[in-house]
Every structure is written in structure tokens, then in C-alpha cells.
Amino acid sequence: MNWGVDSDFSSAQASWLSHWSAGTKLLILVVMASTFVLINHPLWLGLSALFMLGVWRSVNGPVNWQAWRRVIWLAVTVTVVVSYVGFFSGVDQALVVLFRLLALLFAALAVVASTPVTDMMAAVQAALTPLGRWGWVNPAKVALAFGLTLRLIPVMLEQWQEIRQAQAARGISAAPHALLVPMLARTIRRADELAEAIDARADSADFR
């Protein structure tokens, strides 16, 4: 969930927020995400976005702009969504959507930047333990899938970007299947490699 900025992601930096437990941060994120969606006022959302930007900056250290240049598409996504809303529902609603989006994004980035994925997995596992006692789910496996997904999102974004550039270089950027077939093929191949790596490393008792 670092949106393609590896150096910021793989090492959660020490900061005031990294001393909080992962469970607390995830719980706060749930509450905040819900609140941001319920608020419908551009001013309050704007202030929330600014505040969350401040929080994220304070835990993230210097921003690597070279890395961020690779995720320009994120700005494109935001622009397209906001201008759509602006065109069909007016400027007020567009500002609501823009600020809500930024507030959520910075909040999630702040949590990711200050929490190692393993801590997040432990928090998910702890939260699911009651369900595990009833035999509904295996908390260790859900936690592994959860952490794996968070780690894989930036990897998959980069993979999509690479395939797009490779196909554009061949002059076939417009055809969706030309992007999607290699995307799926690489994804499936990655599943084989990852499963082998997991089996080789995670031979712990609670995972069996």
C-alpha cells in the first residue's frame, strides 16, 4: 500500500507513531475511514486531509521524489474521478471527493509507513483468534494472506506499469487483452514462486 515507493515501504521507519501497537492503528484507521465517508462538508474534509498529510509527513521522513514520479498515475486517477464528479455534481461535491480521498490516502500511508507488515499480520491474527476458536477461520492463514496482499499491491502496480510500457514500446498500448494476458500469466507464475518461498520458510507449528 505504499503505491510503488519501495524505499519508504520495506523499512517502516522509527517515529512517534511506530510506538503505537499495530492493532490500535488499524482500529483508528477503521474509525477514521468510516468517519471520512460520513462527513459531507468540504471544509472539514479539507482540514482532515491537511491534518493527515501532517501526520504522514511526520512519520515518513524525507520523501523520495524520484520514486514518486513513477506513481504519477495516482494523480491521474484522482484527477479523472474529481473532474467527473465536478462535471456531473458540481464543484462542492468534487471538493468533498478530493479531500476525502486525500485524507484516506494519507491516513493509510501513515499507518503503512509506521507499521511493519509482520506487526499488522500479528494484529489481524489476534483480532481473529475468537473466530479461530470456533473453527470458522484459521487466523494465521488469514493474517498471512492479509499481509501478503498489502505487500503485493505495490508489486502488482509496478508489474502493470512495466507491461504497459513494454506494450506501448511495441505500439499496442490500446488493446486491453495485450495488457491483461501477460499480467495474468505473470501473476500466476508469481504464485508458484511465492508458495515455494512460504513453504521453505514458514514451517511453524501454528501454520500447519
Q: Does 10 bind another protein (CB under 8 A)?
A: no
Which of 103, 83, 118, 107 shows the shortest CA–CA distance to 38? 103
Grid coordinates representing 32 are: 477514521
* Residue 134 in contact with another protein, rule: CB under 8 A: no
Q: In sequence order, which residues have a C-beta less than 8 Å from that of residue 163 and are 6 or more positions away?
A: 179, 182, 183, 186
Q: Determine the interface stretch with another protein among 7-15, 43-51, 54-62, 101-109 (rule: CB under 8 A).
A: 101-109
Q: Which of 64, 84, 162, 206 binds another protein (CB under 8 A)?
A: 84
Nearer to another protein (CB atom), residue 38 or residue 169: 38
Residue 24 makes contact with another protein by CB under 8 A: no
Contact status, residue 81 vs residue 101, Cβ threshold 8 Å: yes
Q: Judged by CB under 8 A, which of 105, 113, 117, 121 binds another protein?
A: 105
Q: How far is the CB of 110 from another protein (least distance, A)?
A: 11
Binding span for another protein by CB under 8 A among 12-20, 36-44, 61-69, 165-173: 36-44
CB closer to another protein out of 172 and 181: 181
Per-residue x/- track, 148-187, another protein (CB under 8 A): xxx-xx-xxx--x---------------xx--xx-xxx-x
* Residue 37 makes contact with another protein by CB under 8 A: yes
In angstroms, give the least distance from the CB of 84 to another protein: 5
Q: Are residues 2 and 154 in contact, defined by beta-carbon separation less than 8 angstroms?
A: yes
Closest by CA position to 18, among listed 123, 116, 98, 102? 116
- One residue of 17, 59, 94, 108 binding another protein per CB under 8 A: 108
CA distance linking residue 89 with residue 101, whole number of Å:
17
Cα 171 from Cα 165, distance rounded (Å): 10
